[in-house]
Amino acid sequence: LSLSLSLSLSLSLFLLPLLTVFSDPSFLPPTGEKSFLCDLCGFAGGTRHALTKHRRQHTGERPFKCQLCGFASTTQSHLTRHKRVHTGEKPYRCPWCDYRSNCAENIRKHILHTGKHEGVKMYNCPKCDYGTNGPMDFRNHLKEHHPDIENPDLAYLHAGFTGFESLFRPLQSWLGR
């Protein structure tokens, strides 16, 4: 795989959720405490931002609007993804074939469900040879076999394709590795 292709897939499938967290000042490091409560249903969020997004389910508010059509969204990230429908941009690529998509989730679905890439594992343990396509299976593996990993519930942070380890080195101190 070329470096740019590897980097593109790695960022799109595994690091973008983390980059979103660090770029938004209303997010805090994960502590497990959920002190922001919804007065309508009892939902508990870990940040004020999470509660604000949740409350839009009750209010129906869709503050992020497309200027080219009638699309409106509850989140900026959904609007950003939608805009690619108009531009034709497909920044996400399959590392094993020429398939491209405007959405990282479609790459995951392509790899796991088309049958074109049999044997590929999306979640590969950095400490042993275990690999799986199920994020919960991966999380359970980390909890059971590698108790020294501090945040196994953030399993996607620990996952990686073989050879992508260097992309995750900046995260190791935050993850306690």
DSSP code string of 58-127: HH----EE-SSSS-EESSHHHHHHHHHHHH----EE-SSSS-EESSHHHHHHHHHHSSTTTT--SEE-SS
Which CA distances in Å does 49 have to 11, 89, 147?
23, 28, 30
Q: Residue 65: CB partners within 8 Å, gap ≥ 6? A: 71, 72, 73, 79
pLDDT computed for residue 122 by the predictor: 82
pLDDT in tens, the chain (177 residues): 444 444 344 444 444 444 444 444 444 445 557 788 998 888 898 899 989 999 998 999 999 999 999 999 999 999 999 999 999 999 999 888 999 999 888 988 898 888 898 888 888 888 899 988 888 898 899 889 988 887 766 655 556 543 333 333 333 333 343
Predicted local distance difference test score (pLDDT) of residue 147: 86
| pLDDT for position 26 | 44
pLDDT for the residue 123: 83
Domain boundary assignment for the chain? 1-15+61-120, 121-177
Per-residue confidence (pLDDT) for residue 11, from 0 to 100: 40
pTM for this predicted structure: 0.54
* Residue labelled with tokens 């870990």: 46
At 5 the pLDDT is: 42
Query: What sign for the dihedral angle of Cα 156, 161, 167, 170?
Result: positive
State how far the Cα of 86 lies from the Cα of 70, in Å rounded to an integer. 12
Contacts of 127 by beta carbon, 8 Å cutoff, 6+ apart = 145, 146, 149
pLDDT of the residue at 145: 93
Instruction: Tell whether domain 1-15+61-120 is in CATH 3.30.160.60.
Output: yes
pLDDT for the residue 134: 83
